[in-house]
Homo-oligomer: A and B are copies of this chain.
């Protein structure tokens, strides 16, 4: 493992790709689930909410093991994909994306639910009476008003995805240049007692994370007041 910057470049790019995709997936799924639980009333809603939080509570390695069982070539999902599409998920960077997405999903979901619940329903009514369909109401009123809270969740999810390695390592393996993310590299350096390499890689991870968070801060609208 090179301690030079170029040595960190490959895992860095891979890490960004994995975390980016995982965050994108959670942008959709987390917002969807958050909206559902904020708005729909159905029996077992609280239970579903708690269940969707479980990926957070399981040690990543254990979660990784369950994911392995699920998406491995012998698993129900992995086997099906392999049989019908010839796709082998396991030990690919896509598997790393799935692991990172699962681990960070509750972060987006919870943040989105809380954010949607603070949006004044009267404003949505106002938009409806102005002729907007439900989708347009969502994208033009609900989402912008909830965005600040959702963004906070997304940033946490991105950070978590950057740092994730327990579950990732399990389903993606650690194939240098293919599935070795920064976190895995850091972990190995620490394990191997290569403190300087570890510190260097942690520095790279931290700087990357800070850069991404600062850039994303720009995406937040100015302070949007609750009342019109």
Q: Which residues of A contact B (CB under 8 A)?
A: 46-47, 49-51, 53-54, 56-62, 65, 106-107, 110-111, 113-115, 117-122, 148-149, 151-153, 155-156, 159-160, 162-166, 183, 186-187, 190-191, 198, 202, 205-206, 209-210, 213-214, 217, 223-227
Contacts and interface: CB of A to CB of B under 8 A. Distances in A.
Contacts of A57: 159-160, 162-163, 205-206, 209
Given A110-B152, A118-B118, A148-B117, A217 B61 contact: no
Contacts of A164: 59
A191 B61 CA distance: 9
Nearest to A209: B57
Contacts of A210: 47, 50-51, 54
A56 B159 contact: yes
Chain B CB within 10 Å, residue with most, of A46, A152, A159, A202: A152
A151 B122 CA distance: 24
Contacts of A119: 226
A67 B121 CA distance: 46
Contact of A118 (B58, B148, B153, B186): B148
13 contacts: A46-B217, A57-B163, A58-B206, A61-B191, A65-B198, A111-B111, A114-B115, A115-B149, A117-B148, A118-B149, A118-B226, A120-B225, A166-B166
Contact of A186 (B62, B110, B122): B62
A148 B114 contact: yes
A143 to B, nearest CB: 14
Contacts of A202: 58, 62
A191 B65 CA distance: 10
Given A107-B107, A183-B59, A227-B227, A159 B117 contact: no
A51 B211 CA distance: 10
Given A114-B111, A152-B111, A223-B117, A217 B49 contact: yes
B62 A209 contact: no
A152 B117 CA distance: 11
